[in-house]
Amino acid sequence: MPKTIEELRLAFAKTCPVQSGKYGEKFARQWFKKNNWEFVDMDQSIGTKHEKLRALGGKRPDFIVDSRSDLHVTTVDAKFATTDDGKIFCMPDWEIEQYRMFKVFAEEEVPGTTCEVLFMIFPKEFNGKRLVWVDLSELENGADVTVRGHPGKQVSLENRDELWDKNE
């Protein structure tokens, strides 16, 4: 049973996709600030989506982080997700394709650069206290599964200790 209003909000966020997204972004900002990462929130307003990206069906990640390179653009999308107690992460194929189209768009807009699309996964089972990194290419090559009634991919979050971190 939640003991504070914040614990109650967190419990509700676990059942609502919109609130889960907001909590994922909140946890990511906390981690970025604590670890001195320079980042910018990517504008998610409907009216600000580039016409070409819209035509491609692309989806903007939540953040751009300073990659310290002129040749790499690093983007991060935060996910507050159910992970079978930190064992797996799944995403529907249609959503993977939206992120892939963002990568295509970004690399076409700035020729000669590589766009990284990273996912910062905050397992709901750990209440935002732990995170693990997943690269878009891992999802593209993941195991076939059904995700919320749609074809999708699954990646293992096990045996990747160097990609896990605390968020406290």
Q: Name residue, tokens 């593209």.
A: 140
| The pLDDT of residue 3 is above 80 | no
Distance CA 119, CA 132 (A): 8
Q: Name residue, tokens 């320079």.
A: 38
pLDDT band at 18 (very low <50, low <70, confident <90, very high): confident
Count: domains in the chain: 1
| The pLDDT of residue 165 is above 90 | yes
**Whole-number pLDDT of residue 8:** 72
CATH number at residue 136: 3.40.1350
The DSSP output letter for 101 is: H
Task: With respect to residue 160, please indicate whether it lies within any of the assigned structural domains.
Answer: yes
For 36-80, write each residue's pLDDT tens digit: 999 999 988 888 888 999 899 999 999 999 998 889 999 999 999
**Whole-number pLDDT of residue 152:** 97
**Whole-number pLDDT of residue 132:** 98
Task: With respect to residue 63, please indicate whether it lies within any of the assigned structural domains.
Answer: yes
**Whole-number pLDDT of residue 85:** 96
- This prediction's pTM: 0.91
Distance CA 101, CA 148 (A): 22
Task: With respect to residue 5, please indicate whether it lies within any of the assigned structural domains.
Answer: no
Mean of per-residue pLDDT scores for the chain: 92
Distance CA 2, CA 13 (A): 13
CA distances, 3 to each of 11, 15, 20, 77 (Å): 11, 18, 20, 30
End-to-end CA distance of the chain: give it in Å, rounded: 21
Task: With respect to residue 3, please indicate whether it lies within any of the assigned structural domains.
Answer: no
Do β-strands 114-123 and 72-81 pair in parallel, antiparallel, or remain unpaired?
Answer: parallel
Report DSSP letters for 22-76, one per residue: HHHHHHHHHHHHHTT--EEEPP--GGGS-HHHHHHT----SEEE--S-SSEEEEE
Q: What is the 3-state secondary structure (H, E, C) of 114-150?
A: EEEEEEEEEEHHHCCCEEEEEEHHHHHCCEEEEECCE
Task: With respect to residue 100, please indicate whether it lies within any of the assigned structural domains.
Answer: yes
pLDDT band at 13 (very low <50, low <70, confident <90, very high): low
Host domain of residue 28: 23-166
